[in-house]
Chain A
Amino acid sequence: GQQLNQSPQSMFIQEGEDVSMNCTSSSIFNTWLWYKQEPGEGPVLLIALYKAGELTSNGRLTAQFGITRKDSFLNISASIPSDVGIYFCAGPPGPSATNKLIFGTGTLLAVQP
């Protein structure tokens, strides 16, 4: 089945640093979603990408939909302690007409003040 692999698995950074993480798939996705999950909570949607090559920002977050449709990138600029959490990429498998999503393996972000 389709899988989404995220790297790195975890990141331990200092406050103020920029962060980059990516998500790759062996098959094409038509939509890429980036979620953040904090301890004890459900995922919260950060950014949605719908078109190959698209670059979208949400505050200090920027995400890109790869040209090949098989990858996506998330960047966080000037990290702050509240950025701590697990970041997941996700997407509907194939030409899905529903919100059934495949989630990536996650990137754990820890920010030291």
Chain B
Amino acid sequence: NAGVMQNPRHLVRRRGQEARLRCSPMKGHSHVYWYRQLPEEGLKFMVYLQKENIIDESGMPKERFSAEFPKEGPSILRIQQVVRGDSAAYFCASSQLQGAGTEAFFGQGTRLTVV
């Protein structure tokens, strides 16, 4: 009964490269949320997706960032032309239902370092 799986756990990219972060939700979960955590800060909401649909992307930068959750396969958070300020831990959470307080389970995160 695997939990939320994120890979890679650590990712190093040079400035200007692309970063692809993957999230496989828990079995039976169709709601995925991405959060970003800067060092010594709390998590900040980025985007909420259901299968094949972006529901809320209000926390995601308008440029260089995109997210998808295809019918088959993991959810992908894509960062193009990375800059040093993109260095952070990116967490994915999934839930079975939509609803405030419905427990969302978090993955272990991907730590992106831009050099």
Please, what's the 1-or-0 string for A71-113, where 1 marks a CB less than 8 Å from any CB in chain B?
0000000000000000010101001111111111110000000
Q: Give chain A's interface residues, CB within 8 Å of chain B.
A: 4, 30-31, 33, 40-45, 48, 50, 88, 90, 92, 95-106
For chain B, the bracket of interface size reads 20 to 34
On whether the beta carbons of B101 and A92 are closer than 8 Å, the reply is yes
When distances are taken between beta carbons in the complex, the residues of chain B under 8 Å from A30 are 100
User: How far, in whole Å, are A106 and B91 apart by their CA atoms in the complex?
Assistant: 16
What are 18 A-to-B residue pairs whose CB atoms are below 8 Å? Answer: A40-B109, A42-B4, A42-B106, A43-B43, A44-B106, A45-B105, A48-B103, A90-B42, A90-B43, A96-B100, A98-B48, A98-B100, A99-B33, A99-B93, A99-B95, A101-B35, A102-B45, A105-B41
User: How far, in whole Å, are A38 and B51 apart by their CA atoms in the complex?
Assistant: 30
- Mark out the residues of chain B between 1 and 60 whose CB falls within 8 Å of any chain A CB in the assembled complex: 4, 31, 33, 35, 41-45, 48, 55-56, 59
Is chain A's binding surface mostly helix, strand, loop or mixed? loop
On whether the beta carbons of A45 and B103 are closer than 8 Å, the reply is yes
When distances are taken between beta carbons in the complex, the residues of chain B under 8 Å from A104 are 42
Who on chain A is nearest to B94 by CB? A99
